[in-house]
Every structure is written in C-alpha cells, then in structure tokens.
A and B are shown apart, each in its own frame.
Chain A
C-alpha cells in the first residue's frame, strides 16, 4: 500500500538519565544504545524529516538535556520550520539553558514530576530532585515557551491525583497531562508493582472529570487512560506507520517508541538508509501498516480503523506474537492475560531503572 504522510518525529537523543524511575518505557538493554548519533547525524535526520512533510519534532530520551548539543538541534529543527517540543524531567533546566533553548526557537516543554510531594516524588525518581523540578516549572512558566506538566500515574502515586492537579493549579500551569503508566520497557518489567487498582482508576476518572469542569478555560487536563482497564485497546500511534516515527539514540527507526522490544522485527538505521525510504518501504514499517495484516477478531471488526488493532508491542510482550490482537481488547482470545494481571498486581518488588 502507499505510505501515508508522517506528521511527527520522536528523537530519542540519548537513553542516559540521572533518574531511576521504575515506570520508564525505555528498553532494558540501555547499554546497547551508547553509540549515539552525532550532532551532524541528528541534523541530517531533521532535514530528512522536514522534507518528508513532518511538522512536529519531540526531543526526548532518556534525558535529552544531557546532550550538550541540544540547543543546536532545536535551532536546526526550528530553522526547518519544525515545531519543537522538549520532553524532559527538568533537573538540568537552569536559567541559562532555558534562555538558550528559547533563543534557539523552542516552542514547547514538557516537564515531568513523579508525584506532588517531595518525599514520594524523590522515592520514585530514586534521587532528591523534586525541588529542582519545581524550580524548573517556575522558570518555564516565566518565559515565552509553552509548558505541559506531566505526571505518570501508577499504583504508588495514583491516590495523589487530586494533589497533582492542585500542585499544577498553584503553579499556574495551563496544560496538565496525567498519563496512566504504559507497560513497556522498565514499566513492563515492573508491571505487577505499578498496575493501579480498579478503585484507583475509577477514583482518578471522577477526579479528572470534576477538575476539568471546574478548570474549564484555565487548565486543560489530558488524561491518558490505563490500558488494562478498558474494553477496547488504544489506537496505538494512531496506527502503525501512519503518522509517527521514532529514532532511537543510535539511529534505529521505529514505528513506535516501544517497538524495539519486538524481537521478531528487524529495524533499520538512519546511518544506513534514508529516513523516507525506511518509512515507505522497510519491512518493519510495512508489516503492520493499514489493516491487511490483521487476524481475527480485528479483520472483521467495525473498529479496525478506529483502534488499528491496538498496540503491536503489547501484543508481542504478552502473547509472543506481534500480529495478535492487542490483549487489551475484550474481544482478544488473550484478554485473560490482562484481567489475570489485575488480580495478581500489587505484590511485587520494584526494579529501579539503571544502565
């Protein structure tokens, strides 16, 4: 089939990070990604992306501010007319770096916190950084750049959801993302410890609905639903190879940031092949593009172009077959893998992310 136009590129500049959050979606084998693309190689990726019609670039990681060439990459993207979004945990966002980033043309920053209280946040991050992050949020709000405050929700902090909203309100945040943890990478490894309870999820939905009503026009709250509690899967990436692509620190090109976990696929690298060619013709992008690859029950489902079969990575992680219907779907023959997980959750040890 002819390939659609990609809109958005996620540049995972490095997997290095000074925090150890157990909900990180980065792969477990972080050391395999140490041969990072150079500044020139990233600038070349950005030029190719702009030529393909991509409009937005997300600079993420690991922690992207650990790249000393971050401002040059922002400047490079902005000069190509690309919208630039920095996804950071904020511990290195001092005045000098922020000023340089804004001068370089940065449009938007997403800063994440682990919880609204210092003690819990630092325990989840594995480092005493919450106060630094609060400073970073204040610094961003004082500049001509947009801010989204992000908090990943899971079993350990889900009960603080009201306080997260209160924290954002007091800080004067206009956009808050409350994202239930997605189980990939380190988060998948820690899923039994991180999966929220059904009661937490129900309570969270109530709190968000009430807060949205109360804060209409003041704060936008983006609520990312938890996968393990819905009847239908998320339309992951809005469909495989439809709008999004990810380049990992070493230049691998993925249809989804979690796709490296799919051992049955070979991913191509920007050091060896043009980005547009990988997008349009590579086996890894073509394999699950569109609906032709779908098995039953997806194939005859009226939602097949609504949720695109759900998530390939999740299908692989749970069933060993990336072409299976996402077990998050209640119609999946493997759906019990999800429901049984809900029952056994909460009793596991947490493994901190480390290289």
Chain B
C-alpha cells in the first residue's frame, strides 16, 4: 500500500474497542484479538485518513521511528489485506 492510499475495512469487518477486555477485530465468523499497537492503527482506519497519516500518528503515540511505525503498519495491513479485511 502506498503512503497516499486510504485504507478502509473490508465488508463485514468491524473494530470493537472494549473497556473491559482486549480490542477485537470482528470478521466473518470469528474475532481476532488485537494488541495495543494494532488496535491503535486500526482505530485510525476511517476511510479518510491516508496510510501516511496513520503511520505519523503511530510514530507519535508509541515514540518509535517513522520507519519502525511504517514497517509495523505495513505488516499489519498486509496480513489483514490478504484476507480482505483491509482494502484500499
């Protein structure tokens, strides 16, 4: 995915943030538990923000380098994209 691409969720994919438990990505017929950084990135997927904007926000929030944040978000989106959970 290029930096100016706007990622959005695939059909039937929903992020669930829960004060009492781990964040989850609800997908067809199952739920994927998310760690904090994955949840933080997915929370920014709104069909408006670009990949670069999401990476910038993660860089700031987790105090990591832009390269590290980009690698992290790329890997996450690639993994979810393979199953159609994230699309451009």
Chain A residues engaging chain B, CB cutoff 8 angstroms: 5, 7-8, 53, 55-56, 58, 81, 83, 85, 107-108, 110, 144-148, 174-175, 216-217, 220
What are the 7 closest A-B residue pairs judged by CB atoms, nearest first? A146-B12, A146-B11, A83-B26, A108-B12, A108-B28, A107-B12, A174-B84
Chain B residues engaging chain A, CB cutoff 8 angstroms: 10-14, 16, 18, 20-21, 24, 26, 28-31, 81-84
User: If A55-B26, A108-B28, A110-B29 touch, does A146 touch B10 (CB 8 Å cutoff)?
Assistant: yes
Name the residue in B11, B12, B14, B16 with the highest tally of chain A Cβ atoms < 10 Å from its Cβ.
B12
Among residues of A, the one whose C-beta sits closest to the C-beta of B26 is A83
- Contact status A217-B28, CB under 8 Å: no
Which residues from A are CB-within-8-Å of B83? 220
A53, B33: Cα distance in complex, Å: 14
Among residues of A, the one whose C-beta sits closest to the C-beta of B81 is A217
What does DSSP make chain B's interface, helix, strand, loop or mixed?
loop
| A3, chain B: closest CB distance, angstroms | 15
- Contact status A55-B84, CB under 8 Å: no
Which residues from A are CB-within-8-Å of B16? 55, 81, 83
A106, B28: Cα distance in complex, Å: 11
Name the residue in B29, B31, B83 with the highest tally of chain A Cβ atoms < 10 Å from its Cβ.
B29
Among residues of A, the one whose C-beta sits closest to the C-beta of B16 is A55
A-B contacts, 26 listed (Cβ < 8 Å): A8-B31, A53-B18, A53-B20, A55-B16, A56-B26, A56-B30, A56-B31, A83-B16, A83-B26, A83-B31, A107-B12, A108-B28, A144-B11, A146-B10, A146-B11, A146-B12, A146-B13, A146-B28, A147-B12, A148-B28, A174-B10, A174-B11, A175-B84, A216-B82, A217-B81, A220-B84
Among residues of B, the one whose C-beta sits closest to the C-beta of A174 is B84
Among residues of A, the one whose C-beta sits closest to the C-beta of B78 is A217
- Contact status B31-A85, CB under 8 Å: no
- Contact status A107-B84, CB under 8 Å: no
Partner of A7 from B13, B31, B81 at Cβ < 8 Å: B31
